[in-house]
Amino acid sequence: MKDIIKNLVGDALEKVAGSHHFVLPESYAIQIEQTRDASHGDYACNIAMVLSKQVGMKPRDLANLIKDATTDNEYILKIELAGPGFINFFIDATAYHSIIPEIFEQGHDFGRSTSEEHQKVLLEFVSANPTGPLHIGHGRGAAYGATVANLLRFAGFDVTCEYYINDAGRQMDILAASIWLRYQQVFNNALSFPDNAYQGDYIKLLVNNIVESHGDQYTYDLDAINEAMADDDAERRLDSIIRICKEALGKDCYQLFFKAGLDSILQGIREDLEEFGVCFENWFSEQSLVDDHTVDACLEKLEEEKWILEKEGAKWFASSRLGDEKDRVLIRENGQATYFASDIAYHKNKFDRGFDKVINIWGADHHGYIARVKAAITALNYDAGKLEILLVQFATLYRGKEKLQMSTRSGEFITLNELQQEVGKDAARFFYILRKSEQHLDFDLELAKSESNDNPVYYIQYAHARICSVFRQLSEKGFIYDRKDGLNSLSNLTEPHEMKLLATLTRFRDVINSAALNYEPHQLAYYLRDLANDFHGYYNASQFIVDDTVIRNARMTLIDACKQVLLNGLSLLGVSAPEKM
C-alpha cells in the first residue's frame, strides 16, 4: 500500500511540475508514513513541505496541486490536506484485509525477505575468555548477538555465527597456574592463594578431578612457591608463579593442567549457551592462528609494507598513520606477541574467508580498540568498510539497590546459568534485548525474580496463549473453524479494534527489516508488545465465538493470523510461544 501511494504521489508530482513549469530537484525521496492518529487518515505524505522551498511555492498550495493531480485508485477513499501541508490518504478497509491471506500463505516465513540474498555475513559475539563460566554480563552479548543473527537471516542474509576462543596468552596461563596452585593447596594447607588469581569454586572442582586421576604426583616445593608469593607487586607475583609452574611441570604436564582448565570451562560455556538458545557454527581458536603461522604471516606482510617500527626494544604497528591515536605494540620487549597481533591475524583470516560483511559485537569497554583493528585491516590491503563493530554497553548487576561487582578472577559473579534457572530463559532473553544495545542495562536480580510477571514477555506470550485458548473453546463448544470461509468474510472486519490490529499486522515486515538492518532487536520487542496490546484490547471489546458463522469465521481468521505473527516474532527473539499459561 505504501508503495502504491508512493507511486501515485510521484506521478502526480511530475504531472504538476509539467503543467506549472517548474523543475524538480534531481533527487528527492517521497516519504509515506503510517499515521498514528486516525484523524490524519491511514497514510501521510510530507513531500509538499519538503519541496516547497526548492520549487518556490507555499507548502499547502503545492500539496493542493498534488492532491488534484493524483489519479483515482480503488483503495483510496479520499485525500485531505492538513496542518502545514500534509497530504493525508484515507484507505478503504479492504486494502488492510489483504495482509491476512498473505500471513497464512507464508506461515512461519511471513516477514521473511529475500532482498539481501547471497550477502554473506560473519557475526562474531560473546567470545568470552575461557577462564570461567559465563556470567550475566556475557548474557547480554549472547542474547543480543543471537537475536541479531536471527533477524539478519530472516532479512535474507547468509549468516555464520562465530565464537573466538582466547586460548593463547597470559590470562590462560594465569588460569593454568591458578589450577596448579589450588592443586598444591590440597596437599599443603599452609599455602596462601593470591587474590588476583582465579578463585571461583569451579577451579576447585577441576582440581578434584586432577587429584582423583593423578594423585599427588605434581606436588611442588612449598618454599619456592612462597618465595614467589612474597613479591610486593601482585601482577609480577603472578608471572613468577606462572614461571615456576611451567618449570616444575615441564611442557607436557603443564598442558595437562592447561587443558583441564580450558576443555572443561569451554564445555561449560557451550552447554550454557546452548541452553540459552544461542548456537555457533564456528568455534575459532586463537592458538590455531599461532600454530598455522597466520600471525607470523601478518607480521611479515606488515613489515614488508613498512608498517612496523622498532622502538624501546619492541615492535610497533604504525597505526597512528591510519587514524589511530598512537602506535601499538605487536611484539613485546620480551619477544612475546601481544593479543593485538593475533587479533590482526584473526581479522585477516575472517576477510580471507570471503564474507561480504564482518560484524563484531564487542563490549563497550573495547571501543578504543576499533581504530587500531581498522587500521590493521587497511594496512593489510583489505576493505575496512566491510567491518562493522557493534558495541554493547555493560550490564550492571543489582541486587535490590545494592550494586554487585562482577569479576571472573575474584569468583564473585552470578552465572548465566544461575540466571536462567532463577528467571527462566524466555524472560532473560527478552529482558536483555528490551534495551537498545547502546543503553546501559541495569539488571536487578530482585526485580527479575520477584516481579517476573512485570516482564512484558509474559504479556506477549499471554496474547498467544489466549488465542490458542479461544480455539480450544471453539471446538469444545462444537464449532468448526473454517478459515476459507473466514478469508471470504474479511469484509466484515471494520470495527476500530479490528482495523488497528490489521494495521499493526501490516507493519510487521517493515519492523523486521528495520530491526535487522539497524541491528536493533528491541524494535521487534516493542512491536510485539504493541501487537499483543491490540489483541488484548480486541479480546475485551469483542466476542469471537458468536453464533453468526460468517462473523465468527472472520474474527477467528483475524486472531489466527495474529497468532502466527506473534509466533514468528517471538521465535526470532528466541522466546517460546506457549499454548497455555
Stretch that binds RNA, among 176-184, 257-265, 404-412, 430-438 (CB under 7 A): 430-438
Task: Decide: is 332 part of the binding site for RNA (CB under 7 A).
Answer: yes
Cβ of residue 36: shortest distance to RNA, in angstroms?
Answer: 7
Q: Which of 16, 32, 59, 490 binds RNA (CB under 7 A)?
A: 59
Q: Which is nearer to RNA, 6 or 214 (CB)?
A: 6
Task: Decide: is 438 part of the binding site for RNA (CB under 7 A).
Answer: yes
The overall longest dimension of the chain from CA atoms, in Å, is: 98
Binding mask 445-474 toward RNA (x if CB under 7 A, else -) reads --------xx-x-xx--x--xx-xxx-xx-
Cβ of residue 560: shortest distance to RNA, in angstroms?
Answer: 13
Q: Which of 70, 147, 150, 166 binds RNA (CB under 7 A)?
A: 166
Binding mask 121-160 toward RNA (x if CB under 7 A, else -) reads --------x-------------------------------
Residue 494, all three cell numbers: 471494520
Please, are residues 443 and 397 in contact by the beta-carbon 8 Å criterion? yes
Q: Is 324 helix (H, G, I), strand (E, B) or coil?
A: coil
Question: Which ranges of 215-293 does DSSP label H, i.e. alpha helix?
Answer: 222-229, 234-275, 286-291
Q: Which is nearer to RNA, 3 or 37 (CB)?
A: 37
Question: What angle, rounded to 10 degrees, do the helices at 456-476 and 521-541 form?
Answer: 40
Q: Which is nearer to RNA, 257 or 458 (CB)?
A: 458
**To 10 degrees, the CA torsion angle through 173, 165, 432, 530?**
170
Using CB under 7 A as the binding rule, the residues of this chain from 236 to 295 that contact RNA are: 286
Cβ of residue 471: shortest distance to RNA, in angstroms?
Answer: 8
Give the start-end residues of each E strand in 457-568: none
Residue 542, all three cell numbers: 469483542
Residue 87, all three cell numbers: 497530504
Which letter does DSSP use for residue 135 in this model? B
Binding mask 3-32 toward RNA (x if CB under 7 A, else -) reads ------------------------------
Task: Decide: is 403 part of the binding site for RNA (CB under 7 A).
Answer: no
Task: Decide: is 162 part of the binding site for RNA (CB under 7 A).
Answer: no
Please, are residues 180 and 223 in contact by the beta-carbon 8 Å criterion? no
Alpha carbon distance 4, 213 (integer Å):
73
Report the sign of the C-alpha dihedral through residues 379, 382, 385, 388, in that order.
negative
> Among 258, 53, 292, which residue's Cα sits nearest to residue 173?
258
Q: Which of 3, 21, 29, 39 binds RNA (CB under 7 A)?
A: 39
Under rule CB under 7 A, how many of the chain's residues touch RNA?
87
Cβ of residue 392: shortest distance to RNA, in angstroms?
Answer: 10
Q: Which is nearer to RNA, 272 or 426 (CB)?
A: 426
Cβ of residue 274: shortest distance to RNA, in angstroms?
Answer: 23
Task: Decide: is 323 part of the binding site for RNA (CB under 7 A).
Answer: no
Task: Decide: is 406 part of the binding site for RNA (CB under 7 A).
Answer: no
Task: Decide: is 572 part of the binding site for RNA (CB under 7 A).
Answer: no
Beta strand pairing status for 357-363 and 387-392? parallel
Cβ of residue 468: shortest distance to RNA, in angstroms?
Answer: 6
Using CB under 7 A as the binding rule, the residues of this chain from 84 to 113 that contact RNA are: 84-86, 88
Alpha carbon distance 19, 30 (integer Å):
20
Please, are residues 340 and 327 in contact by the beta-carbon 8 Å criterion? no
> Among 447, 445, 435, 448, which residue's Cα sits nearest to residue 393?
435
Task: Decide: is 64 part of the binding site for RNA (CB under 7 A).
Answer: no
Using CB under 7 A as the binding rule, the residues of this chain from 185 to 244 that contact RNA are: none
Q: Which of 226, 306, 543, 548 binds RNA (CB under 7 A)?
A: 543
Q: Write the DSSP string, 14-83.
A: HHHHHHHT-PPPS-----EEE-SSGGG-SEEE-HHHHHHHHHTS-HHHHHHHHHHHPPP-TTEEEEEEET
Binding mask 502-541 toward RNA (x if CB under 7 A, else -) reads ------------------x-xx--x--x---x--xx-xxx
